[in-house]
């Protein structure tokens, strides 16, 4: 066990984690030249297309150091704030972390938040200064920033370049020298932590685990403690580039397990695996439950696909434990699910993965956050409002509380003004402003979560020309003045487009929604009024004009009353049509409501 090292790589987006992982795999000879490709561990199409890591990826490497053979278990993690739950799970399976900082971009918001995650878990941190070969790299200045942040010595920071391979040997020796070997007792009953799982259509659920005590053997009768169910370990092994079956996996090591489980519900991330005959008495303290930030309805386009969508969501939840869903129904869209996501990018990725991996075309409703409503009858008992239609009647309503977050934004000093005005427009209050260096400022705001859900991230990147990094953490509920804005099409409320908005913004946003829908809803044979309303009061209206035949074409000359008679007849027909008419809402309309400022 003393020759095992478990470590993960943490960094902000685009600081070169996946490329560095490639170099480490090359240096240890873990991949053949035929298998080599850039960002090797990003195996999903979506990851390769967007150039971001979405899933943590575990891989084992063998390395000779000073005449001894070492086993290095590497977990590459995502950098985006929406996937921080993946990072927290990877950290729980490790003893050390490589903290990578881009020499050109210096320390960003996500670097700091991931670092705190690692320090909470008592991980040994190895700072790596990446991209030192870039012409724009400020090696001395950024090294000083890292020293200030970590309180380490300047010589402990390893300068490296994942592109050219500089500093890779130093990183490998630092992993072996500085990261402690795993602690665990081989003679104790089996105790292993599940940190990830994937669904394989041929073999059932594959579970990835880290053994803390004891060992797990092929064919052993094992038990999952959270569900209390027992299985036989059909196959255990280590995670090289491909799975490598072994007879047993001992304490301190990371591996995979196949038990032939077909039901996605039976595997929970953070659960403890133990021996069913000689179980361990203490469960591993699992991960904190994930707190979804953004809620949206996901509905099948065809109501008959509801069960199929449920199966797809369960399989996806195995691979992405931060997805939470419960069934719900809507008058406009039929049966579907209310889903909780960690952010807008997460929502977009889930929708995309459902389409690609499971061939499920879905409709996503307008995302919102969950509020607490209090009635006059019971002013101390909160009613959870995940959906605008759950809001009690305005006459019985005492107050509404909405979730607030602490937003940390790190940007260049040139953009402080524009970032501040954006945050104040989004009802943010500045709580702190710190100059990290003469060029870089850290701004802290208290903001309503609902304001950052829609287009905040995109606009932040625009006003700062891409030089702002953003991280947030929840700070609880606060009272605010919210109203429910309904959208009516042809006089009927479309519940999927309703939204809870702050009273000050309701008129503007209601008007913008109506204008946007007017562009997107196809013209019919009759006029379609699009209205935004608060209760019974209409606050905005647009009309999609009817397609009309030129009925007066055959009248040339003659009395005007002949033309008028034909036009009146047409008008009556249109009015009758409008009473029975049904308006279909295209999928783009739901998504366009999110991007009102484009």
Q: How many angstroms separate the CA atoms of 415 and 56, rounded?
A: 33
Q: Token pair 């970032």 is at which residue? A: 419
| Six-digit token string for 129 | 């200064």
Instruction: Please state, in angstroms and rounded to a whole number, the distance separating the CA atoms of residues 235 and 244.
Output: 10
Q: Please tell me the distance from the alpha carbon of residue 419 to that of residue 109, in angstroms, as a whole number.
A: 15
How crowded is residue 457: how many other Cβ atoms within 10 Å of its Cβ?
18
As a whole number of angstroms, the distance between CA 397 and CA 352 comes to 38
Asked if residue 271 belongs to a known ligand binding site, the reply is: no
User: Which H or E run contains 191?
Assistant: strand 191-200
**Cβ-based neighbours of 153, under 8 Å, separated by 6 or more:** 147
133 annotated as ligand-binding: yes
User: 595: which 2 tokens?
Assistant: 């991007």
In 3D space, the residue among 313, 309, 308, 311 whose CA is nearest the CA of residue 324 turns out to be 313
Is 3 marked as binding a ligand?
no
User: Is residue 132 annotated as involved in ligand binding?
Assistant: yes
543 is in an annotated binding site: no
Which residue do the tokens 């304001």 mark? 451
Is 15 within any annotated ligand binding site? yes
Distances (CA, A) of 364 to 323, 330, 418, 529: 15, 12, 32, 23
Is 131 known to sit in a ligand binding site?
Answer: yes
CA distances (Å), origin 254, targets 188, 243, 245, 370, 583: 17, 12, 13, 37, 55
Residue among 234, 594, 236 nearest 450 (CA): 594
Which tokens is 232 given?
């036989």
Supply the angle between the helices 109-120 and 84-92 in degrees, to the nearest 10: 30
Structural contact between residues 280 and 221, judged by C-beta atoms closer than 8 angstroms: no
Binding residues for GTP: 14-19, 130-133
Binding residues: 14-19, 130-133
């Amino acid at each position: 066990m003393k020759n095992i090292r478990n470590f993960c790589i943490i960094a902000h987006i685009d600081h070169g984690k996946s490329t560095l992982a490639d170099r480490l795999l090359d240096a240890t000879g873990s991949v053949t030249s035929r298998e080599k490709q850039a960002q090797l561990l990003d195996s999903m199409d979506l990851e390769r297309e967007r150039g971001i890591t979405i899933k943590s990826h575990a891989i084992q490497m063998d390395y000779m150091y000073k005449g001894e053979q070492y086993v290095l278990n590497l977990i590459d993690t995502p950098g985006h704030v929406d996937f921080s739950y993946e990072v927290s799970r990877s950290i729980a399976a490790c003893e050390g972390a490589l903290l990578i900082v881009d020499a050109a971009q210096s320390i960003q918001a996500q670097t700091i938040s991931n670092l705190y995650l690692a320090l909470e878990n008592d991980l040994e941190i190895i700072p790596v200064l990446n991209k030192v070969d870039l012409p724009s790299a400020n090696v001395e200045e950024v090294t000083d920033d890292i020293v200030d942040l970590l309180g380490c010595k300047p010589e402990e920071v390893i300068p490296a370049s994942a592109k050219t391979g500089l500093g890779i040997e130093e990183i490998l020796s630092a992993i072996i020298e500085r990261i402690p070997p795993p602690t665990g007792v081989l003679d104790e009953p089996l105790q292993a932590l599940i940190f990830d799982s994937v669904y394989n259509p041929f073999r059932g659920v594959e579970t990835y685990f880290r053994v803390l005590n004891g060992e797990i053997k092929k064919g052993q009768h094992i038990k999952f403690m959270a569900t209390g169910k027992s299985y036989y370990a059909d196959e255990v092994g280590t995670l090289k580039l491909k799975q490598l079956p072994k007879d047993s996996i001992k304490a301190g090591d990371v591996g995979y397990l196949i038990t032939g489980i077909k039901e996605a519900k039976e595997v929970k991330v953070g659960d403890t695996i133990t021996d069913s005959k000689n179980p361990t008495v203490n469960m591993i303290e699992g991960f904190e439950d994930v707190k979804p930030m953004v809620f949206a309805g996901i509905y099948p386009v065809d109501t008959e696909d509801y069960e199929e969508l449920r199966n797809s969501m369960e399989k996806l939840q195995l691979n992405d434990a931060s997805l939470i869903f419960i069934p719900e129904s809507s008058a406009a869209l039929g049966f579907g699910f209310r889903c909780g996501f960690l952010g807008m990018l997460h929502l977009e990725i889930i929708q995309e993965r459902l389409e690609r991996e499971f061939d499920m075309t879905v409709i996503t409703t307008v995302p919102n956050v969950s509020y607490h409503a209090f009635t006059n009858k019971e002013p101390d008992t909160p009613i959870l409002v995940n959906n605008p239609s759950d809001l009690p009647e305005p006459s019985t309503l005492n107050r509404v509380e909405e979730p607030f977050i602490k937003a940390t934004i790190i940007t260049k000093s040139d953009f402080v003004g524009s970032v501040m005005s954006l945050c104040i427009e989004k009802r943010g209050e500045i709580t702190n402003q710190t100059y990290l260096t003469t060029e870089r400022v850290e701004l802290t705001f208290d903001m309503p979560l609902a304001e950052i859900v829609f287009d905040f991230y995109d606009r932040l990147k625009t006003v700062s020309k891409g030089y702002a990094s953003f991280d947030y953490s929840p700070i609880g509920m606060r009272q605010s003045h919210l109203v429910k804005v309904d959208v009516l099409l042809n006089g009927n409320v479309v519940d999927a487009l309703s939204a809870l908005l702050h009273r000050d913004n309701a008129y503007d946003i209601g008007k913008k929604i109506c204008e946007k829908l007017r562009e997107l809803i196809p013209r019919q044979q009759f006029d379609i009024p699009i209205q935004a309303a608060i209760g019974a009061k209409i606050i905005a209206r647009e009309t999609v004009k009817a397609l009309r035949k030129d009925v007066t074409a055959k009248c040339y000359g003659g009395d005007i009353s002949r033309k008028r008679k034909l036009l009146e007849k047409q008008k009556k027909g249109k009015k009758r049509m409008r009473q029975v008419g049904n308006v279909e809402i295209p999928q783009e309309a739901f998504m366009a409501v999110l991007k009102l400022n484009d």
